[in-house]
Structure 1
Amino acid sequence: MSVRSGGRVERECSEQRMEASANPVADQDRKGRLSQVKREILEIKLRGRARDAASGRISARPASQNPLSFGQERIWFQSQVSSNEALYHIPLLAWFDGSLNVRALEASLSEVVRRHEVLRSGFENENGVPVQIILPQVEFAVTHIDLRDFAPEEQECEVRRRADLEALQPFELASPPLFRATLLKLGSTRHALLLTVHHIVWDGWSSGLLIKEVGRLYAAAVAGEHSPLAPPTIQYADFAYWHRSFMDSEDGRRQIAYWKKRLEALPELSTLPTDRPRAAKQKHRGSTHSWRLPDDASDAFRVLARERNTTLFAALLATFKTLLFHYTGQGDLAVGTTVAFRTRSELESLLGFFANALVLRTRLEDDPSFETLLGRVHEAAIGAQSNQDTPFEKLVEELAPKRGLSHNPLFQIAFVLHNLPTEKLALPGLTVGVEETSTNSAAFDLVLHVFEDQPGLRARLEYDADLFDRSTIVRMASHFDALAQNVVRRPSGRLSALSLLTSQQEQELIAQSRTKLAQAASAPTLLHHWVDIAAETKARTAAVIAEGKN
């Protein structure tokens, strides 16, 4: 069983995160051997570690305190006003081939719920304000459905139909667990598991943790052993309490000051042309278009990034911003991205919604070269990463942009590079495969996802189907592919001069134009020539009619 552990929430340059060791001497030696960009990222991590050491580890909160995190508050409020009840659902579909121990699987999932308070948490509405209720225990039951009466060739379609329906079933946020499972029996040695969890208690990193925990718990249960997992040292609500205290500290205020300066006078709305007017209230009805980038794009982007002393993330984002510049002509572009926000070691083994949104703003009024833009994007990414403790919700509150239900505040377009390693799970006696299913929802106007596959790069545009036609998005993907080739070939070219066509497409267009020009040149241009041609081709047709006579 394998799944991208950052299915919805990713972190830029995750591999660099691991370079900060616990040995300061080794860190200093490593800094001398790293490229400039890696040195900058390492220094960010070292500063964060120094701050952690000064403030101490996150500890248990006071018994009377069960605060929501900033991110949970945002999701709760948006869930109250959104007409799309599945907007924050995260559905997974797993296939089991082999001898499945159903009791061991059920026990493993129940133990995960027992271990993590966040899966025993509900969110009640008290006079329009969310209040978190954490239950000491909840009953978690797997729903069982027998599909053996379906013919083998019909079973997969039926599983996917049920998966789609299951993903859309609403949760009652006040009634935990906000995590459910349905096991479909297809045969004696074949099963499918539908998992759906609410984003208010989950993120992409949590999916990877679930795989790790279920793998170890299942193996222990099959062997008749007790849980091999150590109890969590803290719980999600401890993090929420700590984070709120941190934002009231000097470091928290410093980060807010950085963002207020960085985002001063930010345009309220993207000017990306849409196929339909924006509604007064966003319905979040989404769709996607997926494709693979040209085979050589991955290597070319990596070489470009290395030569410009930056990252693959920055190179791809700069290309996306170039595309947006061509589409909008907007000289001040804000694109959002997401980070896992597990910047402290004690958070890496906790389930929960830790994700944070960062706003990456770039000025393009001077029509810079691509390599100049790349440097600006790099600078914005480094600055954002070093100030990522500030929750997006706090930024919205502090900057107080004009709020409405028609669009997301601060940014409406996002970019995510999925570069976390694939988590794999081997269950005794089973071959397991897992995939994400879709709720056909869109939180933003447009999101470009790029996945690092081996080999190459895979891309997906997720879009608001109430704003864009599919044909528009397909064309946009084609233009991104063309830019991917052209920025690598001409990084010193100004953005406005970089073509949205590949060199082959340009040659085909030139050839077509020449053909049409040649045809036009050979066509008659004088009136009597057209009369002669008409007389020859339409000899029996009247040429002139006057007073009823031909």
Structure 2
Amino acid sequence: MLMSTGQEALWLAHRLAPESSAYNVVLAVRLRDRVDTVVLQQALTALVGRHELLRSRFPSTDEGPVRLLAGPESVRLDVREVPDTDEETLFRLAQRSGEEPFRIAESGAFRAVLLRRDVADAVLVTATHHLVSDATSQWVLVRDLFAEYGARTGRGAPVTPTAVAPWDEQVCAERDFVASPRGQRAAAYWQGVCAGLETAELPTDRPRPPQHTLNGATHEMELDPATAGRLRQTAAERGVTPFAWLLGTFQSALHRSGAGDGFLIGCPATTRFTPGTREAVGYYVNALPVAGRFTPATTLLDTVESAQRQLRTGMAHARYPVELLDGGSSRGPLFRISCTLVAADRLPVPGLYEGPVCLGGLRAELCDVPQQEGQLDLTVEVLQGADGFRAVLRYNTDLFDAATIERFGDTWRRLVDASLGAPGTRVADVVLVAQDDLYFLLALGSGAA
């Protein structure tokens, strides 16, 4: 069985830090009804039978990593009784269940844990290693699992699975593309994007360790409804997407925070380009290199329009694996910072982000546990919902203090506000200190305070 270029890179990351949870993708759901664990196991077996990566193991051989398939019954539901647990402890148990390391060579890269507090109160934690999943896949997984459960209990419609492409087919398509004239043109395009630029880096609070670490934490920021509305309207008027607007201002925040005048960040994008991949669980992701270039005359609108152009053109070359662009140890990693969009209002389980829903006849709500922290210096996930935008900033705690990331978030927010009020403002001219604070600092400088 074959592995993609991205999977091989993730396999190596796991081999270098097998106890880390930085690449664990987790979706936890609080269930407020009685769960039949026998039926849930049956549904789990059907799910694993349909999505082959969920029953794959990844051992090492003399030729490198390989992928081996196990039977659908190889994944067993792990039921853990946690009676008399308060809300905070239950949440922490769900988080820890997602963080447990995978033994990808021996038992694969997927598990399902049911934390049962009471007969009608439980949390189902589904966790995968990034080797076999991505953000969309985790939601497909949960959708399909509960569809199977509902069909078996008679509380849901019969399941009519759509066709899912074999993973080897995806890998072969990737290899064929890389070797084709289109693949060569894509490589040349990305080399042109990256030419003369290094990975974006923010000034750190502590020296960078000799070896990359995966210790992380999360900071969240949300645009208020009025700002979110202005963002949608202003972006539409300028013919760009809201994400391109946020990405351009994000690059401006990096520039104003010390990342320099020219740099690269990564924008993970989907590679689900065929009907057979759209309903599949797998690692259908490639990170698009996006360049940030600044001069004293660069305006906020310039950065937004550049982001829009790069995203649009980059998607035409998204099949080319970014790992093949890495310049090796002499250059260092291609990305230390990434920014991606998750359209929460278009995920396969509608409404789960916003509030309680019915899944397979069970009342369910999201248990939003922290995850995937510390993969890079900074990874940003922009969650676009029906009502607004929320940004999840995951950062490496060996490099940054929480206050530094909060300050960066404030800088980004100020640049968003400035861009919506006056898009033609030069990035260098945006005041990043609140007016009252500015007066105070000026007073300190004059000795009047």
Name 1:391's counterpart in structure 2. Answer: 321
For residues 118-157 of structure 1, the aligned pairs below 5 Å read: 118-127=53-62, 129-148=64-83, 150=84, 154-157=85-88
For residues 329-408 of structure 1, the aligned pairs below 5 Å read: 330-396=260-326, 399-400=327-328, 402=330
For residues 19-168 of structure 1, the aligned pairs below 5 Å read: 66-82=1-17, 84-127=19-62, 129-148=64-83, 150=84, 154-168=85-99
1:271-293 per-residue CA deviation (whole Å, 9 max, x = no partner) reads: 42111111111111011111222
Distance 2:67 2:360 in 1: 38
Name 1:25's counterpart in structure 2. Answer: none
1:352-392 per-residue CA deviation (whole Å, 9 max, x = no partner) reads: 11111111013213531222222222221122111111111
Query: How far did 1:147 drift?
Result: 2.4
Name 1:463's counterpart in structure 2. Answer: 395
> Structure 1 segments of 4 or more deviating over 3 A?
224-227, 230-233, 511-520
The two structures have a TM-score, normalised by structure 1, of: 0.75
Aligned equivalent of 2:411, options 453, 475, 479? 479
The two structures have a TM-score, normalised by structure 2, of: 0.91
Q: Is the 8 A contact 2:201 2:337 kept in 1?
A: no
Name 2:439's counterpart in structure 1. Answer: 510
SS in structure 2 opposite 1:426? strand
Q: Is the 8 A contact 1:93 1:193 kept in 2?
A: yes
Change (3 A) 1:128 1:491: same
Query: How far did 1:136 drift?
Result: 4.4
Q: Is the 8 A contact 1:120 1:135 kept in 2?
A: yes
SS in structure 2 opposite 1:274? coil
Aligned pair 1:169/2:100, yes or no?
A: yes
Query: Which ranges of structure 2 fall in alignment gaps of 5 or more residues?
Result: 351-356
For residues 431-446 of structure 1, the aligned pairs below 5 Å read: 431-439=363-371, 441-446=373-378
SS in structure 2 opposite 1:180? strand
Change (3 A) 1:518 1:310: same
SS in structure 2 opposite 1:460? strand
Query: How far did 1:86 drift?
Result: 1.3
| Aligned partner letter, 2:401 | D
Change (3 A) 1:428 1:230: closer
Distance 1:514 1:231 in 2: 67
| Aligned partner letter, 1:412 | R
1:272-322 per-residue CA deviation (whole Å, 9 max, x = no partner) reads: 211111111111101111122233221222233223221111111111111
Q: Is the 8 A contact 1:167 1:438 kept in 2?
A: no
Name 1:325's counterpart in structure 2. Answer: 255
Aligned pair 1:201/2:132, yes or no?
A: yes
Aligned equivalent of 1:185, options 113, 116, 119? 116
Query: How far did 1:101 drift?
Result: 2.4
| Aligned partner letter, 2:56 | S
Change (3 A) 1:512 1:91: closer
| Aligned partner letter, 2:264 | A
1:139-190 per-residue CA deviation (whole Å, 9 max, x = no partner) reads: 2221222223x2xxx3323322322332232211122442112222222222
Distance 1:136 1:475 in 2: 49
Aligned length: 441
Query: Which ranges of structure 1 fall in alignment gaps of 5 or more residues?
Result: 1-65, 521-550
Distance 2:155 2:393 in 1: 46
| Aligned partner letter, 2:330 | K
Distance 2:411 2:33 in 1: 45
Name 1:500's counterpart in structure 2. Answer: 432
Name 2:224's counterpart in structure 1. Answer: 294
**Greater C-alpha radius of gyration:** 1
Of 432-441 and 113-122, the range deviating more from structure 2: 432-441
Name 1:45's counterpart in structure 2. Answer: none
Name 1:49's counterpart in structure 2. Answer: none
SS in structure 2 opposite 1:104? helix
**RMSD over aligned Cα atoms:** 2.5
Distance 2:165 2:315 in 1: 25
